[in-house]
Structure 1
Amino acid sequence: MLTRRIPSERFDTLMKQLRQFGFHSCYYTLFYRISPGQQIAPEFAELIDYDRCSPRVISKKHYLFSGDKRALQFQKVYLQRFAEYDKRFYPGDFFELAEYHSKCQGRVEKAIESGLKAHGIEHEYCLAIEDEFRKGLVGFFWLCSPNKELPQADGKLDTLLMQTHKQLVASHYEELNPWTDAQLLSPSSMTVLKLLADGVGSNEIAEQLHLSRRGVEYHIDGLKQKLGASNRIHLVAKALKLGVLSLY
């Protein structure tokens, strides 16, 4: 899991700012939220969708992290042992800043509470942010604190995280893009897609990438099938709409 951690000076700076709010660690990654009516094959949706990603998929995602590494250790244990049994793992309705408190109503909840405390975590904050420009893109923050009581944030914390999300998407979208992060689209397919979006024809794509014309068509057909596109123009438009390609 640690091998999928992306170094970021901006994120380390954020962690210094978060300490004034009582937090000692912060995790961030990107999901895509599929809206009703979007024609994407279910087996692909389960690899990227904020509401349906499995614990196994999340454990393999690229992410940014700064702070106490015990939080990462707990996350690994949680995803491997408890997430699939935790009713709160899938939030259902879209949520904004919500303080997580275990109610200890059953064995799973008690085990999670015990695990949190064993890893120096007394409080958690989760913030899911729908991106302002890339419809469907969701930035997810997970903050941990060793303190039983936290200072009043008065809206400043979520404002800070929303501003940071914009900066992180701008600087790390290539690495955190949910579509490529889940290996739904291969690097070769992404290169073909980008060239198509630039108006490059199949013969020139084949020449640039040292592929056969048939190889280029293979990638294009696979992209159309995965994104539910009917032709090349629709494919590029769909890729932009879904956030596979970014205008920013």
Structure 2
Amino acid sequence: MNLKIKDERLMNELSKLAQQSGFDGFCFSIRPIESLNPLPDIKRLSKLFRNYAARQKHLVYWDDRSKAIREDYYRTVSKIDVESHNNSLGFNLWLGKSHSTKNAERIAYFKEKHGLTCVVNFRVELAGIEGWHGVFNLFSSEEPSKVQSLLSSNESHLAWQLQLYSSHLCQLYMPQLNPIANFECLSEKSFNIIELMADDYNNAQIASTLHLSERGVSYHIDRLKQVFNVRSRTALISKIYRFGLLSR
């Protein structure tokens, strides 16, 4: 399930901002910083983030074209595209170049299929969550030189605006967008236990509600403590809220 923005005012504001800068579509997602241990204060999750972007269940998108571009990119182009693997903050322009003739032809076909000339990827740090970035993929069918000119003349204002919208979108969609839920790092049963723990259920009550043994519940909670690198139940619940797995 992908998340089309339903807030009409927010949608209009983002659309106006994008069009003024030469873009005609975008997607927004939350990603780990691949060059680091994906979540520095969470253990044992690094291997679960391989091919992370293609595995995301949820992202925010402008329209069906934006969604189709992103899905087709990760289905057909991402593995051969070295240019896009840039984790630096701020704006990064993607032109779809390749040193291989065969790969260049595949990327050119992808761009022609979607009426795409370039993509600008904008990364911003998320306040309070080390190791995660908010990422806008901004799509354009304008000439790259025009996009670069618009971007250079308006870069600081656009960056400031996108940072604000990144925070707002995170507030709206964090339970779906956060990498732990989005990349299926925890089982559905673990999430059920998390929800009941947050409602102050004890192990016996959780076991009765979910038709598990108390020993099974204890096993799941101990595993959650290991995953989130905490020792107490209170610290576990606190970190679960911090990472947006539950809304207060």
The TM-score bracket by the shorter chain reads 0.7 to 0.9
> Unpaired segments of 5 or more residues in structure 2?
none
1:130 matched residue in structure 2: 125
| 1:40 counterpart = 2:43 | yes
Q: Which amino acid aligns with 2:57?
A: K
1:27 matched residue in structure 2: 27
Aligned counterparts of 2:107 and 2:72: Cα–Cα separation in 1: 10
> Unpaired segments of 5 or more residues in structure 1?
none
The count of aligned residue pairs is 235
Distance 1:195 1:135, change over 3 A: farther
Distance 1:83 1:235, change over 3 A: same
Report matched runs for 1:218-237 at 5 Å: 218-230=219-231, 232-233=233-234, 235-236=236-237
Q: Which amino acid aligns with 1:94?
A: S
| 1:94 counterpart = 2:88 | yes
Contact 1:78 1:112 in 2 (8 A): no
Q: Which amino acid aligns with 1:77?
A: D
The match for 1:9 among 6, 9, 20 is 6
Aligned counterparts of 1:143 and 1:239: Cα–Cα separation in 2: 31
Task: Report the CA distance between 1:224 and its aligned residue.
Answer: 3.0
Answer with 141-150 or 59-68: which moved more: 59-68
Once the two structures are superposed, residues 135-158 of structure 1 have per-residue CA deviations (whole angstroms, 9 ceiling, x without a partner) of 333211101111112333242222
Task: Report the CA distance between 1:186 and its aligned residue.
Answer: 2.7
The RMSD of aligned alpha carbons is 3.0
Identity of aligned residues (%): 23
Task: Report the CA distance between 1:197 and its aligned residue.
Answer: 5.0
Report matched runs for 1:1-248 at 5 Å: 4-10=1-7, 12-13=11-12, 14-33=14-33, 35=36, 38=41, 40-41=43-44, 44-48=45-49, 53-54=50-51, 58-67=54-63, 69=65, 71-91=66-86, 93-107=87-101, 108-148=103-143, 149-150=146-147, 151=150, 152-196=153-197, 200-209=201-210, 211-230=212-231, 232-233=233-234, 235-236=236-237, 239=240, 243=243, 245=245
Aligned counterparts of 1:76 and 1:139: Cα–Cα separation in 2: 18
Output the TM-score relative to the length of structure 1.
Answer: 0.78
Aligned counterparts of 1:180 and 1:83: Cα–Cα separation in 2: 22
